[in-house]
Structures are given as structure tokens and as C-alpha cells.
Structure 1
């Protein structure tokens, strides 16, 4: 399992030579009432301001730095954000990048991939279909495979964000985390372990971790809905499954309506333009699916901002 030692090594690597690429993103610390929530404080980790517009840059760069990169470069399947992060890291290191995305990926994300110099292949209805095509292509070219969420380097990279939270504000009482394949929550739970209550949040229409817990093991699920481009993995990653079994007690489901309402609230009230996946933590609070104590310090991971701004109108 990814643990604090792995994350600390990754953090040292970033600080030693890549501080210009991996940004220390802000941590807003607000009274709960500022967000209409009955709790002591709400911390917003503004990771949507990271290079590439999401937390994914951390794990993708760590993956590339940890392995030899062949002349054929790197290859990844992604709903968009992992591809953007891999393309940005590949450009930073001066290597070729090929990205497979499903048809559900938004045009805004495809355009950003192209702008970063990636070769973009659109294939399949969902992430799992793009991944299958990507794996076949990787066998042909021998390119370094970067997985969107199920590699140790990816989880350790994501965990550096949790380490930053502790450096900036200490250990929160709880951390609310959006889950797709599980790379983010795997890193966050790997860092905080039992020192903070890490809560997994998923859309009702993409319940990979929730269904895995019902079945007692990772299983394939149907995925759709408002956040499917970012949280559209059909199965929780095996690494994140292990970490969450050890360190995550709560797995909660949210309606698309509550996610959309929170996304619009973040824009209208705080001027934070974020994608639906980034709104699940606030949706959990505002809908009452997660009820903090009156004195609780709750940290919300605002994980990504790769969206078409027109969608906020």
C-alpha cells in the first residue's frame, strides 16, 4: 500500500527540482457559516489551480520521473484530466505523449490535450473502452504506460497534496474526497491514515467504491451522469481498494442534482469555476449526506477545473 514514506519521498523530489511545475495550491480556511454549513471550519484545498487544472499532475509527473521513458514516449487512457496531466508532464520532460479518451470526454478537455502537444485518440463510449484500446496500443509501441489511478507512483503523487494540507493548516478532523478510480482518495488516505476521517464521495450514477464494498471486492459497475468524464471508471483501482479498506470508513453517494447545485454555488458565491467532480465535497455538506460536528474542521478537496465555462451559465 502507498504510505507516508512513499509520499514523503515524492514530495522531496518535487521540491528538489519541480517546484515550478507542481504548485503548492492554496488552502482557504473559512468559518462553516460562510458556506451555509453548521460546523467549526471548512477548508477548501484549491487543487483545481494545479498545473493542468487538477490534482492529477502530481501523480503523472511522479510516474514519469520514477521510470525510464522509451523513445516511443508515454501513453495513457483518460476521461480527460489524467491525460492532460500526463501531456503536461511529458512536455515538461520533452517526451512524446499519446492519449486515448472516450467519446464522453468534453471537447474542452480534448482541445487542451491538443494544445499541450499530445496525440489524441478518441475511442469507445466510456473510459474502460479507451483503456482497452490504450493497452493494445502500448503493446505495439512499448511506450511507458501511465494509468489514470492504479499505479503506486500515481497514488504517492496524489498524497503530496494531503501532505501540503497538513503543512498549511494541520490535520483536519475530516477530509471529503471525490472518488472515481480512487487515485486521489488512495493518496489522501495513505497520508492521513487514521489521523483524520477520510470520507469517500461518489455520484449515485458512478458508484465504484460503494458497489465494491457491497460485493466485498472490486466489481464492474455501470457509470453515467454529470461527472462521468472525471469519475467514470467502471471499477475501483486495486491499490485504492486496499488503502480505503484500511483507512476509509465512509463511502457516500450523491445525486447529480446536488452535485450540480454545489458546482453552481461555488461559481456564484466564491467565483470558483470547477468541474462537477470537484463539487462533490461541498454537495455532501450542503445536501446533508455528511453531517459534521458543530466544532469540526472539514477539508474539501476541490480537485479539478477542466470544464467549459459556458456550462456555468
Structure 2
């Protein structure tokens, strides 16, 4: 983290940070829309398509409708606005290394606030994403074949230019911005008991879990079976490196969970769930089949904790209690829908 961040904002994440982020980002982001899921449309038979009864209530938080197509816009806005308020936003602007949603969010937020953004990408970044970044006015620099090489170049640029280095998820301001999502969900769903969220490096999870704890809402953290950074950190008692291999690796492929995420998990006594790729793909397809919603595999990962049949998930996934009111976060839609089966919509 940049020294300018440590001096001003510290390394911890509290509910007060989430509240401050809520005030900073008001009017700068799209408020989340929530949609109820019909009774019986979660587990029995084909996910989201059955007609039975379910003794609990499920809502979708449609965060994939956020600016730039993911929740990342929240953290990016909070990061830039906080530094503007503190007078620590340099003329050189902000810089970030990312081949994904964080880079798009940073470039968009910078454009919204009239700030220069320099985004470093590896050569494997898709052309459509590069074009979108340039459309946001970012200075796009292609360096190396892997994210690590782009990150190294980004860090060198920050040192030489004085640009403020942002991070995709490992930052209190980024996590606090993500936590504003839970504040909105809580306001829209009275009596909410549980929020189900997918986890990569842990920025979204840390913010959501911190706010959820304040409101006495349970958090269920869902990861692909072979991208289990948070689950492994809980098991080891500290952040550890893990191998990553999943259809959701583009968004949930962090090799190590952040200390912020681990702290939030310990404070909340969260439920950690691992789901196989087959169930992630199945949940994503079901959203298309029955809602005509095309989301990233990362978004479908959260839903898979509920839709996976008994025996498909170690420990049984997450099985709601009778009367439980649940929100499932559909966190992003920056995906190629070409692999979705073109089934007929449900009548």
C-alpha cells in the first residue's frame, strides 16, 4: 500500500470506514437493485427452474448492473474521492495493474473525477478490454505476458512518476467502498439474515462482512474448489499462497487472501463454502435459462453455494434454515456470453 494511504487511512477496516465510503460515493455510483426469487426456484430439480416450495426467502442483489459491470466501481470511487478530500491526489493521477474489472473501474472513476489514470496490462489482456479502457481515457501500457510483470512495471511507474498506486482488492479504501453494497442491500431487504458472496482476494468480502457484522447479518463466503485463498487462510490461521485453477480464475484467481479478509472472517465467524466448477457453470447457465441474465462465473459462484445438489459440495454447500431471508450477490457481468446454451426462455 502507498505510504500516502498508510499515513492517512491506516491498515485496518471498520464499519466507520464503510459509512464514510457510503457518504463519499453517494450520487457517484448506481444504487443496487434487489429482486426476489420465486418460492421453490432455488434447489429442487433444475436450479432456478423448479415449481416446488422453499421454506426460506431468497433475493438477488443485481450488482452486475453497476457502472463498468461490477462492484469494483464502488471501491475505485471511494479510493479517488478519499484522496481528493485529503489533498493527497497527485498531478500524476492514479495507476493500477489489472487485466480485469479493477482496471476498468479505476479508469472509469478517474475519468468521472477528472483524474489521469495509467493502467498496466499483460499482453494476454483481451482487445475488447483494452479498447474499453482507452474509451475511459486511460493511458494503457502493455507489459509482459503475466499480471506479475504488469504489476512490477506499475510499481516502478508509481515510484518514478509520483502517481498514486491503487490496488484491485488489497486496500482498506477499496474494501470499504465494496462494503457500501451491503449497506444498500440491508436498507432494501428488511429483516435480512444472511448475505452470500463470492471471494477472490477478499476486497468485496472484507467490506461486505464488516458491514454485515454491524447489522448482525451472517456472511457466507463462497470460493471455487480450486481457488480457495480465504478458505486456506482460515485453515492455516494466516494468509497463504494457494494454486489457482477454475473457470472463475479471471476474477477469483487470487493466490493469497488479504489480511483484511482474514480478519473480517475471524470477526464474523463466517461460513466458508467451496464449490466445484461444474456447479458454478450450472448456476450461471440457470441464470441465463430462467432470467436471461448473463453474469461472470465469479457471480455464479455465490449462487452455486445454494443451488448445488447434496453431495456435489464438500460439507453440503449452504443449506438455509426455515424462515431465513437471504441475499445472493451477483457481483459482475463482464463476461463473454457466447458459451451460454441458447435455450428457450421460460414461459
Fold-level match, TM-score > 0.5? Answer: yes
**1:95 Cα deviation from its structure 2 partner:** 1.6
What residue number does 2:36 align with?
29
Could you tell me how far 1:236 is from its partner in structure 2?
A: 0.6
Say yes or no: does 1:282 pair with 2:303. yes
Tell me how far 1:282 sits from its aligned partner.
1.2
Which of residues 97, 121, 146 is equivalent to 2:117? 97
d(CA) in 2 for partners of 1:224, 1:265: 23
TM-score by length of 2: 0.84
Distance 2:157 2:55 in 1: 50
Structure 2 residue 245 is the aligned partner of structure 1 residue 224: yes
Q: Aligned partners of 1:284 and 1:144: how far apart in 2?
A: 37
TM-aligned CA distance change 1:103 to 1:204, over 3 Å:
farther
Q: CA deviation at 1:312?
A: 2.4
- Who is 1:215 aligned against? 236
SS at match of 2:109: helix
- The equivalent residue for 1:54 is 70
Aligned residues of 1:80 and 1:229 also touching (Cα < 8 A): yes
| Paired residues for 1:1-313 under 5 Å | 1-15=12-26, 19=27, 21-36=28-43, 38-67=54-83, 68-102=88-122, 105-123=125-143, 127-193=147-213, 195-288=216-309, 289-313=317-341
Task: Provide the rounded CA distance (Å) in 1 between the counterparts of 2:145 and 2:266.
Answer: 30
Distance 2:66 2:132 in 1: 15
Change in 2 beyond 3 A, CA 1:6/1:124? same
Classify 1:284/1:311 alpha carbon distance in 2 versus 1 (closer, same or farther; 3 Å).
Answer: same
What is the rounded CA distance, in whole Å, between the counterparts of 1:271 and 1:127 in structure 2? 33
Q: Secondary structure at the match of 1:34?
A: coil
Which range moves more in the overlay, 178-187 or 111-120?
111-120
Q: Distance in 2 between matches of 1:185 and 1:244?
A: 9
**d(CA) in 2 for partners of 1:311 and 1:145?**
35
CA contact (8 A) 2:220 2:272 kept: yes
Q: Evaluate the alpha carbon distance shift between residue 274 and residue 107 of structure 1 in structure 2; reply closer, same or farther with a 3 A threshold.
A: farther
Indicate the residue corresponding to 2:8 in structure 1.
none
Structure 1 Cα separation of the partners of residues 128 and 55 of structure 2: 36
Query: Helix, strand or coil: the match of 2:61?
Result: strand
Q: In the aligned structure 2, how far is the partner of 1:214 from the partner of 1:103?
A: 35
Structure number, greater radius of gyration: 2
CA-based RMSD of the aligned residues comes to 1.9
Tell me: CA distance 1:296–1:113, structure 2 relative to 1, closer, same or farther (3 Å). same
Unaligned runs of at least 5 residues, structure 2:
1-11, 45-53, 310-316, 342-347
What is the CA deviation profile of residues 270-313 of structure 1, one whole-angstrom value per residue up to 9, with x for unaligned ones?
11111100101211111141111132111100000111232324
State the TM-score, normalizing by the size of structure 1. 0.92
The answer on whether the counterparts of 2:234 and 2:262 sit within 8 Å (CA) in structure 1 is no
After superposition, what is the alpha-carbon deviation per residue over 1:101-140, rounded to whole angstroms, capped at 9, x for unaligned?
A: 3456444433322221222334455544433332222222
Q: Which runs of 5+ in 1 are unaligned?
A: none
Distance in 1, Cα, partners of 2:55 & 2:149: 42
Number of positions where the alignment pairs a residue of Structure 1 with one of Structure 2: 309
